[in-house]
């Protein structure tokens, strides 16, 4: 009897230890984020923590967070979207033209709704070819990338910086009690997406499809519809990022979102999204966006040039893939009975 009790206690202790290790593996991004902040605080000194630098980190991270969520939800479904950055740039430029030139009489909120609808159409375009025609997501979204890049340049070759409604600019760049309004917007969006992914049948379907699409199909889940709506949501989130970007800058430029897709991919993967689908947390992916924001601000403060920073972020993308592989291996080892 005493031996059975001892064995039970040992088994319970081992289970708790495994759960603790799994928690640390799944939420490693927050440990890495704190370590990175402290490292740049040591390297750059007190100026790293001054208000203007922290504000830059917050604003850039908020805008990137929407792209990370857009990319992340695609990764969760076992797909990916190369067009998220260009969709953001196109949305920002189109909204700038709507509010300043084409329809200055239009209420800013109606312009926002219009652009989000267009973002949904971009996502539906991708989703139709990928979900219904079963085409390769890499090739489809790469094609959309170039289409949107060309369309953005056709809209305007010059920056647009005048005529924006004050309320619209406030959402992207103002604060309430010292806290950027964009943070409140992100928190609301993140909570809604988290609930969608964790508390609804749709979210459960996304994880299931990402984990094993064939098995999902056999149990009655519509893989086609799930993937289609994943890309629609991705398009909406990408467009919203473009709106915030324009509001923060107070202008729109043709190349303002160039390279953003790589940062979105890195943020999602470092934040725990599995490259094979079916694993990941929206909250942790936002942690990945914050990490990239910290790196961006920290590297700029060190005096590195734009090309040098780009080299570093190229290394970061590769590191994200390596981290993803080792994290999955460690997780699988912990879940494998000894």
User: What is the residue extent of each domain of the chain?
Assistant: 28-329
Distance in angstroms (rounded) separating the CA atoms of residues 29 and 72: 15
What token pair was written down for 295? 């790196």
pLDDT value at residue 107: 87
pLDDT at 6 over 90: no
Domain 28-329 has CATH 1.10.3470: yes
Nearest to 72 by CA among 267, 318, 242, 262: 267
SS3 (DSSP) at 312: helix
Distance in angstroms (rounded) separating the CA atoms of residues 119 and 214: 29
Model pLDDT for residues 301-330, shown as the tens digit of each residue: 888 776 777 788 788 778 878 877 777 777
Summary mean pLDDT of the chain: 86
Cβ proximity of 102 and 160 under 8 Å: no
pLDDT value at residue 12: 52
The helix-helix angle for 28-44 and 2-26 (nearest 10°) equals: 50
What token pair was written down for 254? 């043709």
Taking 3-state DSSP, the helix, strand and coil percentages for the chain, each rounded to the nearest 5, stand at 80, 0, 20
pLDDT (mean) for 48-73: 90
pLDDT (mean) for 43-52: 87
Residue 7's pLDDT band (cuts 50, 70, 90): low
Q: In whole angstroms, how far apart are CA 227 and each of 69, 218, 301?
A: 15, 16, 41
pLDDT (mean) for 191-214: 95
pLDDT value at residue 13: 54
pTM over 0.75: yes
Model pLDDT for residues 30-43, shown as the tens digit of each residue: 988 999 999 999 99
Percentage of the chain lying above the pLDDT 70 cut: 92
Residue 153 CA from chain centroid, whole number? 24
Nearest to 167 by CA among 183, 188, 181: 181
Q: In whole angstroms, how far apart are CA 276 and each of 45, 53, 72, 76?
A: 40, 36, 12, 8
């Amino acid at each position: 009897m005493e031996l059975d009790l001892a064995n039970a206690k040992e088994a319970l202790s081992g289970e708790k230890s495994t759960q603790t290790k799994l928690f640390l593996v799944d939420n490693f991004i927050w440990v890495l984020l704190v370590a990175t902040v402290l490292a740049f605080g040591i390297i750059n000194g007190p100026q790293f923590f001054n208000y203007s630098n922290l504000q830059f980190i917050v604003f850039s991270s908020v805008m990137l967070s929407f792209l990370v969520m857009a990319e992340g939800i695609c990764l969760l479904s076992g797909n990916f979207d190369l067009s998220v950055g260009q969709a953001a740039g196109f949305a920002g430029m189109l909204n700038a033209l709507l509010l300043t030139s084409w329809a200055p009489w239009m209420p800013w909120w109606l312009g926002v709704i219009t652009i989000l609808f267009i973002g949904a159409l971009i996502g539906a375009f991708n989703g139709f070819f990928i979900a219904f025609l079963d085409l390769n997501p890499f090739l489809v979204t790469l094609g959309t990338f170039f289409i949107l890049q060309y369309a953005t340049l056709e809209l305007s070759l010059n920056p647009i910086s005048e005529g924006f409604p004050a309320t619209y600019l406030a959402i992207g760049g103002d604060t309430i009690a010292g806290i950027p309004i964009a943070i409140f917007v992100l928190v609301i969006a993140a909570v809604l997406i988290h609930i969608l992914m964790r508390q609804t049948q749709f979210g459960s379907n996304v994880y299931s499809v990402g984990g094993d699409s064939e098995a999902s199909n056999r149990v009655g889940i519509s893989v086609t519809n799930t993937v289609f709506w994943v890309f629609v949501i991705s398009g909406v989130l990408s467009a919203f990022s473009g709106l915030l970007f324009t509001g923060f800058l107070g202008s729109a430029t043709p190349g303002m979102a160039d390279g953003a897709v790589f940062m979105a991919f890195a943020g999602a993967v470092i934040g725990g999204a599995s490259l094979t689908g079916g694993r990941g947390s929206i909250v942790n992916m936002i942690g990945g966006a914050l990490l990239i924001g910290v790196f961006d601000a920290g590297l700029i403060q060190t005096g590195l040039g734009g090309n040098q920073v780009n080299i570093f972020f190229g290394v970061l993308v590769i590191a994200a893939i390596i981290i993803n592989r080792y994290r999955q291996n460690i997780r699988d080892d912990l879940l494998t009975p000894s």
